[in-house]
Every structure is written in C-alpha cells, then in structure tokens.
Structure 1
Amino acid sequence: MEVFPEGAAIHWGGGLKLCASVVTIGAFDGVHLAHQELVTQAVVAARKLGVPAVVHTFAPAPRHFFGTAEPLMDDAEKVRRLAALGADHVVVARFDEAYRRRPAAAFIADLEQLGACEVWVGADFRFGAQGAGNVAELTRHFRVQVLEEVRCPAGERISSTRIRALRREGRQQEADRLQGGMIACASEAPLNTASLCQMQDLQTTALSSRENHHA
C-alpha cells in the first residue's frame, strides 16, 4: 500500500477489504471533468454515510490494453489526480490477459470485499469478460447511483473520446479545458456546482476523516 501526500491510500493490484464503503468505478482515462464530477459525488455520498470513499480503476485502462485508444496520461498521473479528489482509497486493478477473462461475478465479489453499500458509475459502465456485466447487473447486488451525462458548453458529452478527437484536430485549448485542472478548472464546465463546493469543503476536513478510517 502506498499513501499519497493528499492522504489517499493507493492499493496497486487490489487486495483492500473494508466493512463498508462507497465505491466509484471506471477507467478514468484522463480524469477529465466528468470523471471528476463522478468521484466528487461518490466522496460526498461517503462522507454523508460516514464510510470510506473508494475509487476503483484499472491500469492500463481496458482501451489502452486492447490498443483501441491512446492514453491521455500515464497511470501514475491518473492515480495522482484521482487521489487528489478526496477519496480515502484508490484501488488499481492490473488489467491484463487474465483480468480481462474474469467473469462478471468475480467483479461483484471484489465489490463485496470492499463492503460497497453504494456504487457510483457512468451510464455506459460495463464489467466482466466481453462486457457481460452492466448497470442493471450491479443493481441486483448493490445500491447504484448513475451519474447523468456531463456536457461541455457546446452541448457535447464530455468524454475521453471527445478529448482525443479535439487533440487530433489541434484544438488543444478546448481539450485542456475539458480534461480540466481538478477543482480549479472544473467551474469552466456545466458541472454540478453544489457538489464541487461540497468537494472543496470536504478537502479541508479530509485528513482527519482519513485518520479515523485508517485507525
């Protein structure tokens, strides 16, 4: 286990066991503004419930493993940015040939090991071999919260695919704005302002909260 200066415990390869938690899951490719909003919402929910907030991600991201998309940042930077968003734990599963063959049931078991009392995902989230698991499957086992689409001022959905397209077109400023610079840049996109304000408040008390959870 590695502990970042922000206070988040980083678990490379998994192995974390908790009695209760709020978990958010995703590849988080680029940790763009929509990803930041998803993690923020999960952290706010965890603080309300008085349980640890866990971010569950993958290295490499599945699309990078399959060679269908180029990374927007390296895995170390991705984890650093996720840790800075206020989670107590960041679990980084190694996505390799063996992991991609795991059935959906194995992923459900991972979440049960985390004591997930609430799970936050995007609407298009899929898991397990050949993407057999989806949001409907998650709801059979956990209380699930699905983040509504986050859109840029032009009305397009903020996504890693959109950011890559902007970079290919040479529109670096637009891509940088959608990828964001954490909380400081998030106000430039039409995100949930209330949750971002809550996130800033949470960051001022995160250290003491984490000390209680890690004790």
Structure 2
Amino acid sequence: MLIHGAGNVSLPKTIVTIGAFDGVHRGHQTLIKEIAQKGRRLKVPSVVYTFDPPPRAFLQDARTLSPIHEKIRRMQALGVDHCIVATFNQKYLQQTAFQFMYELQQLNPVEVVVGKDFRFGKNRTGDISLLKQCFKVKVIEPVFCSNGKVISSSRIRELVSRGENKQAFSLLGWPV
C-alpha cells in the first residue's frame, strides 16, 4: 500500500472511500474490504482518504481509538492500494467543499463510497447530493452488531470509557 499526503497524488482511475475510520472497526472493515475487492474486479486501485487526527479528536478532544500507524496497518491488511492521510487542523478546516471536490477529481474515481451522513468542506457545507454532481457515489448503510445496535467509533469510545472493553473489542474486530 502506498501512503500519500492530501493533495499530493493524482491517479488515472480509482475507487475511493472517505472517512475518519478511527479504530478501523467492523463497520469500517466491511466498507474498506468492499472497495478493495471492487477495485480488483474493475482493475483500478482502491483508495482510502482519511484524517490524522480524526476530526472528532481534533474538534471535540475525543479519545482516538487507533493512532495513524495502526490505522494504516489495518487498512493495508484489508487490501487497500493507496491511503491518503489529510492532516486535520485549523488550516484543513478552512478548505471549502469545492476545494475538496477538486482534490478528489485528481483521483479520477469511478466511484466514491461513503456513509449516509457524509459531510465535507468548511462548516460541513458539502453533502452527498453535492458529491453526486461530479461523481458516481455509493452510499453504504451502517453495520449493526448482533444486538441490533450500529457499530460506530463513538459507541466503541463510550464502551471503553465505561470499562466494557470486551464488548468494545468485539466491535473493533481486531485481536488485542
């Protein structure tokens, strides 16, 4: 897997997913495996566009579930070809939705795969309908655990804060 800084890569064709992917939990794994497999089928590189630190950690001082080196290692294990790491800071927060879309165009995505609540750009002004104006977009539904609750990084953080590590680790889906 090749690792790039945001704005430093141009590719002829890709399949891209975008997100914080903090913890690379079972829900993230489903999404990332899907783009890696589809990329192989279409013979185009798979790209994960992610952030360091995760936006929630930067904006809300939330606990980070996986440092960037661990996140990258896990993505590589899932078969991703490229990982773009955007430094999430005050400067990044000023990037408009259209600036982000221009950066995404440099990857020439045949498809962009995101979660249903995906937002981007300064003040979160970009949304899925804006993304669809320039790209083929696939929206992925959340992944649920056996008790019917959505698997999310926020939920895992909450479980860890309550000392419910066994359940948190089961949602992460990685060996401890």
Give the alignment partner of residue 8 of structure 2, picking from 12, 15, 30.
Answer: 15
Once the two structures are superposed, residues 87-110 of structure 1 have per-residue CA deviations (whole angstroms, 9 ceiling, x without a partner) of 110010111111111000011011
Match of 1:123 in 2: 116
Task: Give the Cα–Cα distance (whole angstroms) in 2 for the partners of residues 81 and 170 of structure 1.
Answer: 24
Equivalent residue runs for 1:117-196 within 5 Å: 117-181=110-174
Match of 1:56 in 2: 49
Gapped regions of structure 2 (runs ≥ 5): none
Amino acid corresponding to residue 108 of structure 1 in structure 2: M
Task: Give the Cα–Cα distance (whole angstroms) in 2 for the partners of residues 166 and 178 of structure 1.
Answer: 10
Equivalent residue runs for 1:189-208 within 5 Å: none
Task: Give the Cα–Cα distance (whole angstroms) in 1 for the partners of residues 126 and 74 of structure 2.
Answer: 27
Match of 1:110 in 2: 103
Task: Give the Cα–Cα distance (whole angstroms) in 2 for the partners of residues 84 and 15 of structure 1.
Answer: 23
Contact 1:14 / 1:92 at 8 angstroms: preserved in 2? no
Q: What TM-score results when the alignment is normalised by the length of structure 2?
A: 0.95
Give the alignment partner of residue 89 of structure 1, picking from 82, 105, 116.
Answer: 82
Match of 2:29 in 1: 36
Task: Give the Cα–Cα distance (whole angstroms) in 2 for the partners of residues 13 and 118 of structure 1.
Answer: 19
Q: Find the structure with the greater CA-based Rg.
A: 1
Number of residue-to-residue matches in the alignment: 176
Q: What TM-score results when the alignment is normalised by the length of structure 1?
A: 0.79
Task: Give the Cα–Cα distance (whole angstroms) in 1 for the partners of residues 68 and 58 of structure 2.
Answer: 12
Task: Give the Cα–Cα distance (whole angstroms) in 2 for the partners of residues 34 and 59 of structure 1.
Answer: 19
Shift, 1:113, TM fit: 0.2
Shift, 1:14, TM fit: 4.1
Match of 1:198 in 2: none
RMSD (Å), alpha carbons: 1.4
Task: Give the Cα–Cα distance (whole angstroms) in 2 for the partners of residues 10 and 84 of structure 1.
Answer: 14
Task: Give the Cα–Cα distance (whole angstroms) in 2 for the partners of residues 176 and 149 of structure 1.
Answer: 18
Shift, 1:63, TM fit: 0.9
Q: Percent identity?
A: 45
Runs of at least 4 residues off by over 3 Å: none
Amino acid corresponding to residue 176 of structure 1 in structure 2: F
Task: Give the Cα–Cα distance (whole angstroms) in 2 for the partners of residues 84 and 128 of structure 1.
Answer: 29
Give the alignment partner of residue 73 of structure 1, picking from 52, 66, 75.
Answer: 66
* Corresponding residue SS for 2:60: coil
Task: Give the Cα–Cα distance (whole angstroms) in 1 for the partners of residues 5 and 72 of structure 2.
Answer: 10
Shift, 1:13, TM fit: 4.0
Amino acid corresponding to residue 97 of structure 2 in structure 1: A
